[in-house]
Structure formats: structure tokens, C-alpha cells
């Protein structure tokens, strides 16, 4: 295996079996291979470069590598079904065009995809699990989070294809969520202002 392939770092998107995003991290080929072998997710710690198991522990259902990112499907270990097959590179029903991305843009009511994402981000803010990219962002401080969110906005503007635009928009929404939580704000407040503007308009 080529050394540059081992070192190539990509974003990891972790979903539950319903397609909901439950975590975001970093992964390279070494993490990918180890995850398949151990049947649980291993991620790359951004600061130390160490390969660590993602906490809290989940059993791995599927893991797939795309050109610019990895996606995994997991379920809580305590509810693991022994009949669920071990994950392999070929065994994965993950798609970057997941049904969750095709949902109607969520509004203020609970239960929306953005509500779920914000709940996960708030949990990471409270528990700060090691190996989580969200933990890394919170530990980096507000200025770093603002800068990263701005970088994601620029990447969206520079996207050259519909698929790339969708991918970059998802990245931007995630980092925006982290920024809002770090500042003690929420999507609900943003939605409330949008509703107010819509009503006034």
C-alpha cells in the first residue's frame, strides 16, 4: 500500500440505520481497514494522528469509501443483532444520495434532520468524546470554528458539480450547527427569524 494513500485523510460521516447523521470524524485507509477487521469504527485523532476507536462504541453495519469522504452505518452495541453480518467493503447500503438528504427543508418543529444533528452536536459539546471531530472543533475554540465555517462556505461557492454542491452544503450546515452550539444559539432561533421575515414579507 502506498504511503500517501495511508496518510490520505477524509471526512467520516456516521449514520444510524435510519440514515440519520449521528457523528462526524476523520478517517484514512488505516482506520478504514482496521474498522473492517474489528467490526467497529476506528477514527483518526486530528491533533495526535493516532488511530482510536470511536466512542461511544457501536457495532459496524456498513462502511464505504467515496472519492472525498467515508460513510458508515452503525447501531448501538447494547442492541446489536447477532444476525447482522459483519461489515465489509462490499457489504454496504450506504449512498451519498441518502433519503435523508432528500427530505423537505426542516422547519422549527422537532424531529427534523437538523434538529437531530443539533442534538448530537450538543451531546458532543457536553461529553467531549475522544476521537470525535466535533470534540476537536469545540476544543479548538470559537475563532477556529468561525474560520472553519467560513472555509466551508467558500468551498460551497466553488463547487463545480451538483453532487459536489450537495456535499459541500452538508458540510456547511454541520459546521454552522457546531458554531451555533458553541455560541449558545440554535437552529430554532434561526428558523424563528426566517418565519418572521416570511410573515412580514
Question: What is the per-residue pLDDT across 80-132, written as a single tens digit (0 to 9) for each?
Answer: 444 444 444 433 333 333 333 333 333 444 447 788 889 889 998 999 887 78
Residue ranges of the chain whose pLDDT lies below 50: 1-6, 79-111
Domain ranges for the chain? 3-97, 103-200
Question: CATH topology for 103-200?
Answer: Helix Hairpins (1.10.287)
Give the pLDDT confidence score for residue 55 in this predicted structure: 81
Instruction: Out of 3.40.50.300, 3.40.50.970, 2.60.120.260, 3.10.20.810, select the CATH number for domain 3-97.
Output: 3.10.20.810
Query: What is the C-alpha separation between 135 and 125, in angstroms, rounded?
Result: 7
Does the N-terminal peptide bond of residue 198 adopt cis geometry, omega within 30 degrees of 0?
A: no
Give the pLDDT confidence score for residue 177 in this predicted structure: 94
Strand partners, 27: 10
pTM of the model: 0.55
Helix, strand, or coil here: 30? helix
Query: What is the C-alpha separation between 9 and 148, in angstroms, rounded?
Result: 17
Instruction: Pull the grid cell for residue 54.
Output: 470511536
Give the pLDDT confidence score for residue 77 in this predicted structure: 61
Amino acid at each position: 500500500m502506498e504511503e500517501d494513500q495511508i496518510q490520505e485523510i477524509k471526512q467520516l460521516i456516521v449514520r444510524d440505520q435510519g440514515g440519520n447523521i449521528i457523528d462526524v470524524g476523520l478517517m484514512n485507509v488505516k482506520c478504514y481497514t482496521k474498522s473492517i477487521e474489528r467490526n467497529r469504527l476506528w477514527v483518526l485523532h486530528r491533533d495526535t494522528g493516532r488511530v482510536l476507536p470511536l466512542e461511544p462504541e457501536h457495532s459496524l453495519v456498513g462502511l464505504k469509501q467515496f472519492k472525498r469522504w467515508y460513510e458508515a452505518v452503525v447501531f448501538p452495541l447494547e442492541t446489536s443483532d447477532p444476525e447482522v453480518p459483519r461489515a465489509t467493503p462490499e457489504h454496504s447500503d450506504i449512498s451519498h444520495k441518502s433519503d435523508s438528504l432528500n427530505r423537505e427543508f426542516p422547519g422549527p418543529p422537532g424531529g427534523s434532520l437538523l434538529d437531530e444533528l443539533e442534538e448530537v452536536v450538543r451531546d458532543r459539546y457536553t461529553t467531549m468524546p475522544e476521537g470525535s471531530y466535533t470534540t476537536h472543533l469545540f476544543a479548538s475554540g470559537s475563532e477556529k470554528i468561525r474560520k472553519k465555517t467560513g472555509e466551508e462556505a467558500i468551498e460551497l461557492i466553488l463547487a463545480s458539480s451538483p453532487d459536489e454542491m450537495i456535499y459541500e452544503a452538508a458540510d456547511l450546515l454541520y459546521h454552522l450547527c457546531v458554531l451555533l452550539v458553541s455560541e449558545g444559539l440554535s437552529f430554532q432561533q434561526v428558523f424563528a427569524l426566517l418565519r418572521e421575515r416570511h410573515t412580514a414579507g
